[in-house]
Chain A
Amino acid sequence: MIKITNLEKFYRTEEVETIALNKLTMEVNTGEFVAIMGPSGCGKSTLLNILGMLDDPDEGSYMFNGIEIAHFNERKRADLRKHNIGFVFQSFNLIDELTVFENVELPLIYTGVSSADRVKRVEEVLDKMQIMHRRNHYPQQLSGGQQQRVAIARAVVNKPKLILADEPTGNLDSSNGNDVMELLTDLNEQGTTIIMVTHSEHDARYSHRIIRLLDGQTVMENIMV
Chain B
Amino acid sequence: MIRNYLKTAWRNIVNNKFYATINVAGLTVGLVVGIFMLLWVQDELSFDKANTNADKIYKVGIVGGTGISKQIFNNIIAPVATFAKSEVPEVKDAVRIMALGDAPFKYKDKVFIEPDFAFVDPSYFTVFDFPLIKGDKRHPFQDNSSVVITASTAKKYFGDEDPIGKVVMMGQDQQAKVTGVIADYPANSSFKYHIMMPTSMYNYQGYVKNKRTYDNKSFVSSMDGDWSQFGFQTYLLLKSDVNMAALEKKLQAIHERNKPEDAPVPYLTQPLLQMHLYKADGTDGGFSTVRTFGIVALMILIIACINYVNLSTARSMLRAKEVSMRKIIGADKFQLFMQFMVETAFLFVISAVFAFVLMFVLLPYFNQFSGKQITFSLTNYNIWLCIVATLLGTLAASSIYPAILLSSFEPLKALKGKVTVGIGNVAFRRILVVTQFAVSIVLIIGTLVIGNQLKFIRNKNLGYDKENIISVSMRQDMKDHFEVVKNELLKNPGVLAITRAGRNIVTDGSSTGDSDWDGKPANSNMWFNQIYADKDLIPFFKMKITEGSNFKGVVADSAHFLINETAVKEMGLKDPVGKRLRVQTITGTIIGVVKDFHFNTIHKKIEPAVFQYNPNYCWNLYIKTTGKDAQKAIASTQGLWKQYNNDVPFTYAFLDETYAKLYTTEQKQGSLFNLFSAIAIVISCLGLFGLATYSAQVKTREIGIRKVLGASVGKIIALLASEFMVLIIIAIVIAMPLAWFAMQGWLQDFAYKINITWGVFIIASVGATLIALATISIQSIKAALANPVKSLKNE
Q: List 30 contacting pairs A-B, 8 Å CB cutoff, sorted by A.
A: A49-B412, A54-B328, A54-B411, A55-B412, A75-B333, A78-B327, A78-B330, A82-B329, A87-B328, A87-B329, A93-B324, A94-B325, A95-B325, A95-B326, A96-B322, A97-B8, A97-B12, A97-B15, A97-B322, A98-B11, A102-B7, A106-B326, A106-B329, A106-B331, A107-B329, A107-B330, A110-B326, A110-B329, A110-B330, A110-B332
Cβ contacts under 8 Å, B415 to chain A: 93
Give CA–CA (A111, B415) in the complex, Å. 22
Give CA–CA (A93, B782) in the complex, Å. 32
Cβ contacts under 8 Å, A79 to chain B: 332
Give CA–CA (A96, B412) in the complex, Å. 18
- Where the two chains meet, the residues of A that have a C-beta atom closer than 8 Å to any C-beta of B are 49, 52, 54-55, 75, 78-79, 81-82, 87, 93-98, 102, 106-107, 109-111, 154, 158
Map CB proximity to A onto B1-35 as digits: 1 under 8 Å, 0 otherwise.
Answer: 10010011001100100000000000000000000
Judge if B42 is at the interface, Cβ distance under 8 Å: no
Given A54-B412, A55-B412, A109-B1, answer yes or no on A93-B325 (Cβ-Cβ < 8 Å): yes
Judge if B53 is at the interface, Cβ distance under 8 Å: no
Given A106-B326, A109-B4, answer yes or no on A97-B331 (Cβ-Cβ < 8 Å): no
Given A54-B411, A93-B321, A93-B415, answer yes or no on A111-B326 (Cβ-Cβ < 8 Å): no
Closest to B415 in A: A93
A-B contacts counted at CB < 8 A amount to: 57
Q: Taking A93-B328, A98-B8, A106-B331 as given, write out 16 further A-B residue pairs in contact, using a Cβ cutoff of 8 Å, ordered by the A residue number.
A: A52-B328, A54-B411, A78-B327, A79-B332, A87-B328, A87-B329, A93-B324, A93-B325, A95-B326, A97-B8, A97-B322, A102-B4, A106-B326, A110-B330, A110-B332, A154-B329
Cβ contacts under 8 Å, A97 to chain B: 8, 11-12, 15, 322
Closest to B331 in A: A110
Least Cβ–Cβ distance between A154 and chain B, in angstroms: 7
- Where the two chains meet, the residues of B that have a C-beta atom closer than 8 Å to any C-beta of A are 1, 4, 7-8, 11-12, 15, 321-322, 324-333, 335, 411-412, 415
Cβ-neighbour of B330 out of A55, A95, A96, A158 (below 8 A)? A158
Cβ-neighbour of A81 out of B1, B4, B12, B330 (below 8 A)? B330
Give CA–CA (A54, B12) in the complex, Å. 27
Least Cβ–Cβ distance between A108 and chain B, in angstroms: 9
Cβ contacts under 8 Å, A95 to chain B: 322, 325-326
Cβ contacts under 8 Å, B331 to chain A: 106, 110
Asked whether, in the complex, the Cβ of B332 is within 8 Å of the Cβ of A75, the reply is yes
Least Cβ–Cβ distance between A150 and chain B, in angstroms: 12
**Would you list the 6 A-B pairs with minimal beta carbon distance, nearest first?**
A82-B330, A110-B330, A97-B11, A107-B329, A110-B331, A107-B330
The CB with the most chain A CB atoms within 10 A, among B7, B15, B326, B329, is that of: B329
Give CA–CA (A81, B15) in the complex, Å. 31
Give CA–CA (A94, B324) in the complex, Å. 11
Least Cβ–Cβ distance between B405 and chain A, in angstroms: 16
Give CA–CA (A206, B4) in the complex, Å. 38
Least Cβ–Cβ distance between A166 and chain B, in angstroms: 11
Asked whether, in the complex, the Cβ of A78 is within 8 Å of the Cβ of B332, the reply is yes
Give CA–CA (A52, B629) in the complex, Å. 94
Cβ contacts under 8 Å, B335 to chain A: 110
Cβ contacts under 8 Å, B412 to chain A: 49, 54-55
The CB with the most chain A CB atoms within 10 A, among B322, B325, B335, is that of: B325
Least Cβ–Cβ distance between A105 and chain B, in angstroms: 8
Cβ contacts under 8 Å, B329 to chain A: 82, 87, 106-107, 110, 154
